[in-house]
Amino acid sequence: MKFRYLVVLASVLFFTNVNAQADCILGVGVTSDSIISDIFQLNDMQKAKLEQFSTDFKLQNETLNNNLAEVKSKHPQSNVTELRQLADKYKNVMDSMARVQEITDKKMLALFNSNQYELYLSLCKDASRSAYIVVPAVYTDSISNENR
């Protein structure tokens, strides 16, 4: 009997995660900062922001992981109703984690120049993922067109 409850819970959790995989995450806070920096050839300002966003993400995610552990350890699991409630609470925390990742990635992507953003779009297309839509930043260099 308890095995059936676990199967129901596992099914709910599995189908919840399938939908989240459609987004093309950059992975700020999850992927090594140096990998993101190297792939997208970030400038010094972007590297500093990446480090800040990564740190902020890790703090928020740690809090959500603690919430998730608390939900799993303290919620009763003796019948189907309690398991559904547990699955709903678990899904809410997982959805919050996905939102934090999306917000963090979008903040970083908004700092990309058009070439960096085009590379991101290309990688997402190759991976058959749905890219986040942002407006890339426009950077001016120190050499004006008049001096060239």
Ranges of the chain whose pLDDT falls below 50: 1-21, 142-148
- Quote the number of domains for the chain: 1
Predicted local distance difference test score (pLDDT) of residue 148? 37
Query: Which residue carries 């792939």 as its tokens?
Result: 39
Predicted local distance difference test score (pLDDT) of residue 4? 41
Predicted local distance difference test score (pLDDT) of residue 83? 85
- Show the tokens assigned to 40: 């997208």
Predicted local distance difference test score (pLDDT) of residue 141? 58
Predicted local distance difference test score (pLDDT) of residue 73? 87
Predicted local distance difference test score (pLDDT) of residue 110? 97
**Which 8-state DSSP code applies to residue 148?**
-
Predicted local distance difference test score (pLDDT) of residue 76? 81
Predicted local distance difference test score (pLDDT) of residue 75? 80
- Per-residue three-class SS string for 134-147: CCCCCCCCCCCHHH
Residue 72: which domain range?
Answer: 2-147
Question: How far is it, in rounded angstroms, from Cα 101 to Cα 68?
Answer: 16
**Model pTM?**
0.76
**Mean pLDDT of all residues in the chain?**
84
